[in-house]
Amino acid sequence: MLIAPIKDNLNRIVVASALFSGVYILYFTIIYFGWLFGVLFGFVPIGLVITLWLFHQPKWMYIIIYTINYFIAGGTRYINIPVGITMDILLIIMFLILFVESGKKNVDWIKGFNGLSSLAIIWLLYCFLELFNPQVTSAEAWMTSIRGVAGYFFIIAFLTPIFFRKYKDLKLILYLWSAFTLIVVLKAIWQRYIGFDNVEKYWLYVYGAASTHILNTGIRYFSLFSDAANFGASMGFSMVVFSIASLHMKNKWIRIYFIFVSVAASYGLLLSGTRAALAVPFAGIALFIILSKNSKIIPIALILLISAFVFLKYTNAGQGNPLIRRMRSAFNTEDASFQLRMSNQEKMKTYMIDKPFGVGLGLGGGKAKRYAPEAYMSQIPTDSWFVMIWVETGVVGLILHLFILIYIVVYGLYLSMFKLKDKELRGIHNGLISGIFGMMVASYANEVFAQFPNGFLIYTSQAFIFLALIYDKELEEKQLNENNKYELNP
């Protein structure tokens, strides 16, 4: 009878001692190391609790990484951390959690293998073999570049089917994406109407980013992204996905919310002043017109698309507005920057004739100066994702890469036209495939395809396309169950 009270008293003593020790250490830390270290120490218990929780809920670790991915590129202006290494560490932690959980038989690794992850393995293998390309002069360049070019593609293609096998998971990611979109648009609006903060000014005028963002044609706002081009392309992606998805959402309020997000993203695209980003909505909506089977939507989409093109290409309306004026210049083939890119590509063609496997990962464009400052291809900016792939992996790599991307789009088209039955799911699916296609087209003019956060967004969207049949089956079974309940309880 006395054992229980004694045990309770011991527990109280242990808890009280732990609290007293924690308060003492916190006080000592603040006195000798300052408030910052004190606050960091104060969060240690919370961090431990979260870590333990994540070991039981690894899907949320993935969601945390997805969230960090969206803001980390621009966040490095405020916190000086290496983006790639930070994401690598987070993904390693993710896999460690999965391995621990797999020991408890809570992880089904087989679910990670599907058509998309198979394509990702093929591309990863090709990029691995680039290490043995006789043109390669730096293993460090290869190691640094393979992550963004192929590594993250495989990891996301493999992990997404493991974690997000329910339709509600797809919608959760959409809601997070929409919230992130609104946050970065609000930041861009703040930059325009209130101004840049001290950190952003330092980045612009000390690091020299003002040369590409403070122009005679107007200011290119970059929000919380690495630069305006990245911001504009991502906003174009969000605009296409949420505008198309909104047409098919069953819930009226979600439909209105998605329309609001797409309008906000459109404004963000304009604020970016990124001309190449216009390719995302133009190409994305054009593909959606092909996908749509709704006789009411097709003429409306066509009218909007043609009207926007005519407005920008053949009129001078709104020319006094710097945002419109800069976007209109995207249709000017006599533009000096366009002519320079064409000239650079002619130089590359001559150099690349006898290099079918390219010059090696990480050894094309300006970034190559870090590894091979005297190399010819490090002196010519690639200015394009696909040109970069061509230069670094050769015409063989470019053909393989394009085949994989086109296969994903064609497979998505096939599912939408012939397989998917649920209208809401098909609408979201159409938005994702149209947005991916738009990003592919825009990536001819800019290296935005795999930049943070676009790479993760695109790869996750591709993974959802390959999960669409699973979601459709789930929704069909749910509908059948509801019908059966209604028949039993009329």
Q: Which residues neighbour 387 within 8 Å (Cβ) at sequence distance 6 or greater? A: 345, 348, 444
Per cent of the chain over pLDDT 90 is 35
- What's the whole-number mean pLDDT along residues 237-262? 94
Q: Which residues neighbour 427 within 8 Å (Cβ) at sequence distance 6 or greater? A: 244, 245, 247, 248, 249
Q: Could you tell me the two tokens for 121?
A: 């393995």
- What's the whole-number mean pLDDT along residues 111-127? 94
Check whether residue 103 and residue 211 sit in a common domain: no
Check whether residue 66 and residue 138 sit in a common domain: no
The answer to whether position 449 is within a domain reads yes
- Which pLDDT tens digit goes with each residue over 425-457? 999 999 999 999 999 998 887 888 888 899 999
* Residue 183 predicted with pLDDT over 90: yes
* Residue 38 predicted with pLDDT over 60: no
- Which pLDDT tens digit goes with each residue over 120-160? 999 999 999 999 988 877 788 888 889 889 999 999 999 99
Check whether residue 93 and residue 177 sit in a common domain: no
The answer to whether position 49 is within a domain reads no
The answer to whether position 140 is within a domain reads yes
Q: With the CA atoms of 295, 296, 300 and 303 taken in that order, what torsion angle do they form, in degrees rounded to the nearest 10? A: 40
Check whether residue 132 and residue 145 sit in a common domain: yes
pLDDT score at 186: 96
Quote the mean pLDDT of the chain.
81
Domain that holds residue 24: 3-42
Check whether residue 25 and residue 139 sit in a common domain: no
- Which pLDDT tens digit goes with each residue over 318-327? 565 555 655 5
pLDDT score at 470: 94
Residue 115 burial (CB count, 10 A): 13
The answer to whether position 267 is within a domain reads yes
Res. 266 pLDDT band, cuts 50 70 90: very high
Res. 24 pLDDT band, cuts 50 70 90: very low
Phi and psi, residue 423, nearest 5° = -65, -40
- What's the whole-number mean pLDDT along residues 237-252? 93
Check whether residue 73 and residue 167 sit in a common domain: no
Burial class (CB in 10 A: 0-12, 13-18, 19+), 360: buried
Q: How many domains does the chain have?
A: 3
Q: What is the 3-state secondary structure (H, E, C) of 69-122?
A: HHHHHHHCCCCCCCHHHHHHHHHHHHHHHHHHHHHCCCCCHHHHCCHHHHHHHH
165 or 293: which leads in pLDDT: 165
Closest CA to 184 of 429, 449, 457, 383: 457
Contact 430, 291 (CB under 8 A): yes
Check whether residue 28 and residue 70 sit in a common domain: no
* Residue 483 predicted with pLDDT over 90: no
Check whether residue 128 and residue 215 sit in a common domain: yes
Check whether residue 368 and residue 395 sit in a common domain: yes
d(CA 131, CA 357): 11
d(CA 407, CA 400): 10
* Residue 9 predicted with pLDDT over 60: no
The answer to whether position 283 is within a domain reads yes
Check whether residue 289 and residue 254 sit in a common domain: yes
- Which pLDDT tens digit goes with each residue over 356-388? 898 888 887 777 777 777 677 777 777 788 988
Check whether residue 76 and residue 176 sit in a common domain: no
Q: Which residues neighbour 70 within 8 Å (Cβ) at sequence distance 6 or greater? A: 180, 452, 453, 456, 457
Check whether residue 99 and residue 145 sit in a common domain: no
- What's the whole-number mean pLDDT along residues 29-43? 49
Contact 218, 251 (CB under 8 A): no
Q: With the CA atoms of 362, 367, 371 and 376 taken in that order, what torsion angle do they form, in degrees rounded to the nearest 10? A: 90
The answer to whether position 480 is within a domain reads yes
Q: Which residues neighbour 418 within 8 Å (Cβ) at sequence distance 6 or greater? A: none
Q: What is the 3-state secondary structure (H, E, C) of 371-421?
A: CCCCCHHHHCCCCCHHHHHHHHHHHHHHHHHHHHHHHHHHHHHHHHHHHCC
The pTM assigned to this predicted structure is 0.85
The answer to whether position 375 is within a domain reads yes
DSSP state of 215: E
The answer to whether position 51 is within a domain reads no
58 or 271: which leads in pLDDT: 271
Q: Which residues neighbour 325 within 8 Å (Cβ) at sequence distance 6 or greater? A: 217, 218, 318, 319
Q: State how far Cα 475 lies from the chain centre.
A: 27
- Amino acid sitting at position 28: F
Assign 179 to helix, strand or coil: helix
Q: Could you tell me the two tokens for 325?
A: 């004026």
